[in-house]
């Protein structure tokens, strides 16, 4: 259980037949289709588990067909056929999404962008990179490195996630502080609509004030209005001096103070400011078998990254002198590993109910303390001395995130999934977020997990406009159904 999971398949969607598979076979060669034995192919359904199961391992669909187009024309023919036959589809990138959006709920056809992975062009004057949507983020960054450039986003899943997936989830990540949102750095998109229309909006211009900015609708649309097949994005100059430092902090107030100090001392070279609490640290140390950065376990940790062009100048900050400053590339990686390997540690230690919240920075960690207190007073977490009690159902309540962006990943870690316990706290968290004018999904999207909670962040009028946009693009509702919108 995590969020609303529909129990009934929409009967308006066609059940696939061998004849449909035959039609797909007219568009794609056999070696770019996975088809189950039931539909005349050679795959055991278990062979398709990797495509049917999400990264967390909670959501599992039953797609019997996975298609691998290599260009927008093939995507167009597939969608046109599916739309005319009312066959529901799920676009899939690297399948690293964390809200259950990238896998089918029932038997939707998976359209994987995996084989659309070519760089199309790079304008070295402007830094405009144009590429297929299925390019892996890290591969693009390595490509740009050869040209002295870098991607304007970075995240823990960079080795698997696709740029098309990043665009479709409006991914944030650890460089958001420096380079801002994809709504700013994406210059253009190529997308295929459900009726097969190929929308070429692959501009490489930085400035363009000619009417509605259609590409913005696809950023964060989670595959609900079309399939992104090409992306034009503004790469940034690759910093020649990058460094990281970890500091321990005794209170959240100290974390805030450090953030203010970092902004004033480091100014434009500050590229990331991440934080986590001692509970998150304990989980990552135990699971990844890392040795702690300091002898003492601090209540909070801060990771500061700088990206500049003058090593000597960049290392002069007083901030770095109070913590551990990476001395070389391998130590730089090690410091980042504390933070980047945190999600794996949390998901592997128990059943994690996670929130991805946007909150004013001053209040960011308050909700963690509040939840801890509430769950302890209800006899679900911590003993009377405030220590972990292994006999209780909750193992950890922790928070980490991108403090510079006001983004907290709050996790309630249980020994086992317990619907009753989740129900007892989740709406209180959402009410609290609403009272702060925060967002219930800062960077992961809505998917299945947050669809029913959309009203905590968006007014009825906004939700109504969203529904009208969906209907305009996808009147048959075949694109990534059962997700994104509150169930009706
Ligand atoms: P998928 O998971 O395959 O798909 C995500 C959604 O986009 C689905 O709705 C899918 O249908 C749709 N989609 C995918 N490709 C297309 C396309 N070409 N056209 C239309 N729709 C498409 N996220 C952050 O924002 N910040 C982080 O710091 C961060 N860290 C992470 C760390 C780890 C270890 C992991 C596992 C995940 C992390 N994520 C983070 C979440 C995830 O990596 C991002 O959401 C990422 O952008 C998803 O990309 P993907 O290619 O894997 O997309």
Mean pLDDT by 10 residues, the chain (488 residues): 70 97 98 96 89 93 97 98 98 97 97 98 97 98 97 96 98 93 98 98 94 97 98 96 94 95 92 95 96 93 88 64 84 94 92 94 93 93 86 94 93 93 92 93 95 94 98 98 92
CB of residue 90 inside a 6 A radius of ligand 1: yes
Determine the pLDDT at residue 226: 98
Determine the pLDDT at residue 386: 85
**Under a CB-based contact definition with an 8 Å cutoff, are residues 446 and 101 in contact?**
yes
C-alpha 161 – ligand 1 centre gap (Å): 6
**Under a CB-based contact definition with an 8 Å cutoff, are residues 487 and 4 in contact?**
yes
Q: Which candidate, 407, 343, 453, 364, places its Cα nearest to that of 172? A: 407
Residue range(s) occupied by CATH 3.30.465.10 in the chain: 119-237
CB of residue 161 inside a 6 A radius of ligand 1: yes
Report the nearest atom of ligand 1 relative to the CA of 90: 11
CB of residue 166 inside a 6 A radius of ligand 1: yes
In angstroms, rounded to a whole number, what is the distance separating the alpha carbons of residues 96 and 103? 10
Global pTM reads: 0.93
Q: Which residues are within 8 A (CB) of 482 and not within 5 positions of it... i.e. 6 or more apart? A: 6, 10, 105, 106, 448
Say whether the ipTM exceeds 0.85.
yes
CATH 3.30.70.2190 corresponds to the domain 241-343: yes
Report the nearest atom of ligand 1 relative to the CA of 98: 41
Q: Could you tell me which CATH number the domain at 350-456 has? A: 3.30.70.2740
Q: Could you tell me which CATH number the domain at 119-237 has? A: 3.30.465.10
What is the dihedral sign for C-alpha 457, 463, 465, 471? positive
Residue range(s) occupied by CATH 3.30.70.2190 in the chain: 241-343
In angstroms, rounded to a whole number, what is the distance separating the alpha carbons of residues 425 and 412? 10
CB of residue 101 inside a 6 A radius of ligand 1: yes
C-alpha 154 – ligand 1 centre gap (Å): 12
Determine the pLDDT at residue 1: 40
CB of residue 133 inside a 6 A radius of ligand 1: yes
Which residue has the CA at smallest separation from atom 6 of ligand 1?
A: 222
Determine the pLDDT at residue 220: 98
In angstroms, rounded to a whole number, what is the distance separating the alpha carbons of residues 117 and 113? 8
C-alpha 31 – ligand 1 centre gap (Å): 26
C-alpha 393 – ligand 1 centre gap (Å): 30
């Amino acid at each position: 259980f995590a969020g609303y999971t529909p129990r009934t398949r929409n009967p308006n969607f066609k059940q696939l037949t061998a004849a449909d598979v035959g039609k797909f076979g007219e568009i794609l060669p056999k070696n770019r289709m996975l088809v189950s034995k039931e539909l005349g192919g050679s795959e055991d359904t278990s062979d398709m588990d990797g495509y049917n199961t999400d990264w967390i391992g909670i959501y599992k669909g039953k797609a019997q067909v996975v298609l691998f187009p290599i260009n927008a024309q093939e995507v167009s023919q597939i969608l046109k056929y599916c739309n005319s036959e009312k066959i529901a589809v799920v676009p899939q990138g690297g399948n690293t999404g964390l809200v259950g959006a990238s896998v089918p709920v029932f038997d939707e056809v998976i359209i994987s962008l995996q084989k659309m992975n070519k760089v199309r062009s790079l304008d070295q004057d402007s830094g405009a990179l144009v590429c297929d949507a299925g390019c892996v983020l890290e591969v693009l960054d390595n490509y740009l490195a050869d040209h002295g450039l870098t991607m304007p986003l970075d995240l823990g899943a960079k080795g698997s996630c696709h740029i098309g997936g990043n665009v479709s989830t409006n991914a944030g990540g650890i460089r958001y502080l420096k380079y801002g949102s994809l709504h700013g750095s994406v210059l253009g998109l190529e997308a295929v609509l459900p009726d097969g229309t190929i929308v070429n909006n692959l501009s490489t211009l930085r400035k363009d004030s000619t009417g509605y900015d259609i590409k913005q609708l696809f950023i964060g649309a989670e595959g609900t209005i079309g399939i992104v097949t090409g992306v034009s994005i503004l790469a940034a100059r690759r910093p020649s001096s990058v460094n990281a430092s970890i500091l321990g902090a005794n209170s959240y107030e100290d974390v805030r103070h450090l953030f203010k100090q970092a902004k004033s001392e480091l100014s434009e070279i500050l590229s990331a400011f991440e934080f986590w609490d001692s509970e998150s640290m304990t989980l990552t140390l135990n699971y990844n078998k890392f040795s702690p950065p300091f002898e003492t376990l601090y209540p909070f940790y801060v990771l500061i990254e700088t990206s500049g062009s003058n090593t000597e100048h960049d290392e002069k900050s007083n901030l770095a002198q109070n913590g551990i400053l990476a001395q070389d590339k391998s130590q730089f990686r090690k410091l980042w590993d504390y933070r980047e390997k945190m999600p794996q540690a949390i998901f592997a230690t128990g059943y994690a109910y996670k929130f991805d919240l946007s909150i004013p920075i001053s209040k960011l960690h308050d909700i963690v303390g509040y939840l801890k207190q509430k769950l302890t007073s209800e006899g679900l977490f911590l003993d009377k001395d405030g220590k972990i009690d292994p006999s209780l159902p909750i193992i950890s309540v922790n928070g980490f995130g991108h403090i510079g962006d006001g983004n907290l990943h709050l996790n309630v870690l249980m020994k086992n999934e317990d619907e009753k316990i989740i129900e007892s706290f989740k709406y209180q968290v959402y009410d609290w977020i609403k009272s702060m004018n925060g967002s219930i999904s800062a960077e992961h999207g809505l998917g299945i997990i947050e669809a029913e909670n959309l009203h905590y962040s968006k007014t009825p009028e906004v939700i109504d406009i969203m529904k009208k946009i969906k209907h305009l693009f996808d009147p048959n509702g075949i694109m990534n159904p059962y997700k994104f919108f509150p169930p009706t």
